Amino acid sequence: MPEGDTIWRTAGVLQRALAGQELTASDFRVPRYATADLAGNTVDEAVSRGKHLLIRTSGPAGALSIHSHLKMEGSWRVYAPDQRWNKPAFQARIVLRTAQATAVGFLLGILDLLPTAEEGSAVGHLGPDLLGPDWDAAEALRRLTAQPDRAVGLALLDQRNLAGIGNVYRAELCFLARVHPLAPVGRVAELPRIVQLAKTLLEANKDRSRRNTVGGPGGRNASPVWVYGRAGKPCLRCGTPVVHTLLGDTELTERDLYFCPRCQPETI
């Protein structure tokens, strides 16, 4: 599932493939930007911002940034110029071509083209980036505690508080801190530890192809996570069946939630 570590790694792939190269063609396969043409612009850099990705370009078309968000199903792939794509062409939302590579964004949840100077309109609302140069643990804590009655499981997923945590890390962080995800933020004494753990886990996983929150080498059949996706299976710590439910500010924003009722007792 795309979270901050996945996007950081994707930005690195695009940076290595495209940075410093002139675009020979661009193909935006969404109606809003169907006539946009970045041919002749040079790719300056590809960077992640939490779970958002920015490809910055400059040249005849102006200083423009391609902003994307993978949501649940999106991905970026890089191919040699004549290489056959391993995903269906109808899923492509954008194609960027240079003399050396072709970068394709498939099933992107969000795709925007905007002046680089106006990137703040797309990502300015985000809190400190766990994998970014702006990371500030104290500011993240300040934002998290601004709503003390909010469930910690909701606060951690709110990108305005800190950027990069997705549903997997939300579940794993609460488990590691032995905190019930419905506990109000103001009652979570472990909150500073959770923020530090978030930073530690994303840093540890940003270069891994298979995310691991359990630690140790693990085998092919060993679970790389403590509770996420393990509904009904025994807790790796105590053996109690893992509980699955839904949590969101509204029915439309509900996401899967996993926790161990024994290791993470409800105290609200």
Long-range Cβ pairs for the range 142-146 (8 Å, 24+): 144/185, 144/191, 144/195, 145/185, 145/186, 145/191
Q: What is the DSSP letter of 63?
A: S
Q: 3-state class of 167 per DSSP?
A: helix
The answer to whether residue 3 is catalytic is yes
Pick the closest to residue 45 from 86, 6, 17, 5 (CA basis): 17
H or E element at residue 78? strand 75-79
Q: Which of 77, 143, 255, 262 is catalytic?
A: 255
The answer to whether residue 255 is catalytic is yes
Its sign, for the CA torsion 206, 210, 212, 217, is negative
The Cα–Cα gap between 62 and 39 comes to 11
Q: Which of 2, 119, 150, 172 is catalytic?
A: 2
The Cα–Cα gap between 159 and 180 comes to 20
Q: Which of 49, 51, 97, 150 is catalytic?
A: 51
The Cα–Cα gap between 39 and 24 comes to 5
The answer to whether residue 115 is catalytic is no
Of the chain, the end-to-end C-alpha distance in Å amounts to 30
Catalytic positions, please?
Answer: 2-3, 51, 255
